[in-house]
Structure 1
Amino acid sequence: MTNTSHTMIYRVLGSDEWAEALSSGHYDGAPHDIADGFIHFSTIDTLAETLALHYPKRGGLRLLHVPVAAVDDKLKWEPARGGTLFPHLYDQLSVEHVARVDDLKLDDNEVHILPEDLRAG
C-alpha cells in the first residue's frame, strides 16, 4: 500500500538513540519497533498526536525528517488508529537517509514544540 501524498515522514527518538545511530550508521528502532518487525514513522498530520500519546512530557527528543523517496522500496503504509495510514519501514534506517534533525523542546506546559515550518495554521 503506498501513499503518494506525503514526501516526508518523521521519526521521534531520544538523543541517546540518535547518537547511537550516528555511531553505527543506522537506526534499528526502539524495542517496540523491533518487536513489531518495522520502524514506526509519522506523517505531518499525525506527528503531534504521536508525540502526545507516546512521548508525553519527555525531554531530550530528536525529530528525524526522512524523505519518502529515500526509503520507498522498504516502506509500507498500513492502517492504525481508526484507519489512518502510517508509514512503516521494514528495514534499518540509514543515517544517510535522514535529511534533517531537530531538537524537540517542551513548552511551559510540557507539550512538545514542533519546528515552526511543521506547525499547523
Structure 2
Amino acid sequence: MTHPYPTTAYKVLTADQMAALEQEGVFTGAPVDKADGYIHLSTAGQLTETVDKHFAGQSDLHIAAVDLEAMGEAVKWEESRGGQLFPHLYANLPLSAVVAYSPMRREDDGMVRLPVTG
C-alpha cells in the first residue's frame, strides 16, 4: 500500500535514552511519550522545529532515523502542532527499526542534520 507520507521519521533522544536503546534493543518512550500513550516522531521537515521547541538548551542529544514501514500499523499520522500531521508510534521502538542514528549536529543554517542512512 502506498501513501503520501514519508517512510522515514526521526526521534530525538537524550544520550541516556540512546544508550538504553543500544543496550536493551528497544526504546519504550520518554516521559512525554509514556504520558501521551505513543512515541512522538517527526518528519525531516519537522525535526528542527521539534528540537527547538521541545529540547531547547539541551545538549548531548541524538537523532534516530526510524523506518516507518517496518513499524507497519503501529504508526498513525495525527494532527498536532499547527495542524501538521505527525507520525506517532503506538508501540515500543525496536533498535531493528532504527536505520541510522548519530549525535545531533546542526547545519550552517541552523537546521538539524539528519543521520545518514544506508
Using structure 2 for the length normalisation, give the TM-score: 0.86
Q: Deviations over 1:66-98 (max 9, x none)?
A: 112111220000001121000000000001110
In the alignment, residue 69 of structure 1 is paired with which amino acid?
Answer: E
When the two chains are superposed, the root-mean-square deviation of aligned CA atoms in Å is 2.5
- Which stretches in structure 1 are left out of the alignment for 5+ residues? none
Deviation of 1:57 (Å): 2.3
Match of 1:22 in 2: 22
Q: CA 1:116–1:34 in 2, change beyond 3 Å: closer, same or farther?
A: closer
AA aligned opposite 1:11: K
Does the 8 A contact of 1:38 with 1:89 survive in 2? Answer: yes
Q: Does 1:63 align with 2:66?
A: no
C-alpha displacement of 1:117: 7.7
CA, structure 1 residues 97+77, in 2 after alignment: closer, same or farther (shift >3 Å)? Answer: same
Q: Write the mapping of 1:1-121 to structure 2, written as runs, cut at 5 A.
A: 4-105=4-105, 114-115=112-113
How far apart are residue 61 of structure 1 and its match? 0.5
For residues 116 and 79 of structure 1, do their structure 2 counterparts lie closer, same or farther at Cα, with a shift above 3 Å needed? Answer: closer
Secondary structure of 2:50 counterpart: helix
User: What is the identity, as a one-letter code, of the residue corresponding to 1:30?
Assistant: A
> What is the percentage of aligned positions where both structures have the same residue?
35
- Is contact 1:42–1:87 with CA below 8 Å preserved after alignment? yes
Deviation of residue 106 (structure 1)? 6.1
Is the CA contact (8 Å cut-off) linking 2:102 and 2:115 kept in structure 1?
A: no
Q: Deviations over 1:25-47 (max 9, x none)?
A: 10011011001110000001111
Mapped to 2, the partners of 1:55 and 1:116 lie a distance apart of 16
Q: Contact 2:105–2:113 (CA<8 Å) still a contact in 1?
A: no
Query: Secondary structure at 1:65's aligned position in 2?
Result: strand
What is the number of equivalent residue pairs in this alignment? 115
